[in-house]
Chain A
């Protein structure tokens, strides 16, 4: 059987496509199949990992191809000053070059993060002591304030006074920039 595309080489790959219950059979040679690009060859792309899929996920609907082209050109103007990563390169590789890429591509990244993380784009977990700096102290104060409120409600004033002093200590640290 000859390849349906080129009619020259023998068809070595056979596909069955079912759309709305309608079955179509396609017979292609390896080269044409690859050119058509409709199919993923698991054996030829063993590294089909989440990172490879990212590029697809990031890209906009292909029917807006022209618009997308413009956006990419615009996005390409922004480049990370630390590592030279451009946004379109990031879309291809699915990974950033350095920590500075995050603030560099902040605006473009938010919609992507939302898609990857169930609508979330802002961190709400652990804060490192050093890198988190004042943020760590602020979070600590918030937690202590909640504790203070509970202690007051329970009329445990002695403990509440201790917590109040602790809050004051942290607030002083914040003011003095000693974090």
Chain B
């Protein structure tokens, strides 16, 4: 396995569009933040110490022989170019921070890309499990297995009162961030999202855009995650998040049905216009592409479009990001060139689907 493989393999397992509630819930993600006992946190450690952390983890890899870590690959950030790192970010396998300025940053990836373990990001070790659809419990189960395996070989920084010690006190305790990526065009169209966000916040949960903190809700995709990591058990955190997510799913469907009732023609028009744009345009910006893909996806969910699979759309959401487009082109592209390539890629992919 090599970096080329991770980059050429455009579809990660999490994009397969399967799993419970996969019409609304794109992915479930679990992240566990862990630190080694006798090292400074990445905020303060020297380049030398960061190297020691990386060596430590590297030395451990041959010992990780049990499921689900049988086949893992270590990707060191200083051996990748900017474009390669960007592609990993777009596939949600590493964070922008790791790509940008980590000292001796690295990432341990499982073959199917469901598990990625970031080294020397904000914490020494960040275990991430990404699954398609609403499968938080399953993802936590996998993350816990990985965590237990790693703990057999290292001493974690842990304290009886505060739990797992993390660089930032917002993660201390369980070190668990559970996130669900949801496609909510109905709630956006009926302008309910702005009311929903504050009430979700009151429940100790956060709503963000698709690429995490500070990013925009491109293509009506929102990420909902727990804010509180201390004082609640991992199971309680998931229980609360699951409850809210299920509520949002039913509200999203109610919103879509109410639009269908009051303005079905307009809705169908929106869906098919967007399909028209995707299949015919010669220049398309990422924002417009994301919006059109969102409309078409909703059209599939609501039964207006039958001959296109949802997987295609998950795939296109990722493939049309700047990093991926440039990866395919084999070098840097100017924004205009990207818009042209994006339009071509979407067009060709949808035609391929039609002729299937």
Q: Using a CB–CB distance below 8 Å, which chain A residues touch chain B?
A: 46-51, 54, 82-83, 85, 93-99, 102-103, 106, 109, 112-113, 116-132, 135
Contacts and interface: CB of A to CB of B under 8 A. Distances in A.
B interface majority secondary structure: loop
A97 B234 contact: no
Contacts of A120: 173, 228, 230-232
Contact of B232 (A47, A51, A124, A129): A124
Contacts of B167: 95-96
Interface size class of B (residues with CB under 8 A): 35 or more
Nearest to B158: A131
Contacts of B144: 126
Nearest to B35: A99
B98 to A, nearest CB: 15
B151 A128 contact: yes
A117 B41 contact: no
A101 B312 CA distance: 48
Contact of B174 (A51, A116, A123): A123
A98 B41 contact: yes
A116 B226 CA distance: 12
B176 A50 contact: no
Given A54-B168, A98-B44, 5 more contacts: A93-B43, A117-B173, A123-B173, A124-B232, A126-B233
Contacts of A118: 204, 227-228, 231
A132 B158 contact: yes
A127 B174 CA distance: 9
Contacts of A98: 39-41, 44
Given A51-B168, A130-B151, A130-B156, A95 B231 contact: no
B41 A95 contact: yes
Nearest to A119: B231
B35 A117 contact: no
B58 to A, nearest CB: 20
Contacts of B172: 102, 113, 123
A34 B347 CA distance: 47
A48 B214 CA distance: 8
8 contacts: A95-B122, A95-B168, A98-B40, A109-B169, A112-B169, A113-B230, A117-B229, A123-B162
Contacts of B48: none
Interface in B239-293: none
A127 B144 CA distance: 11
B155 A131 contact: yes
A130 B152 CA distance: 8
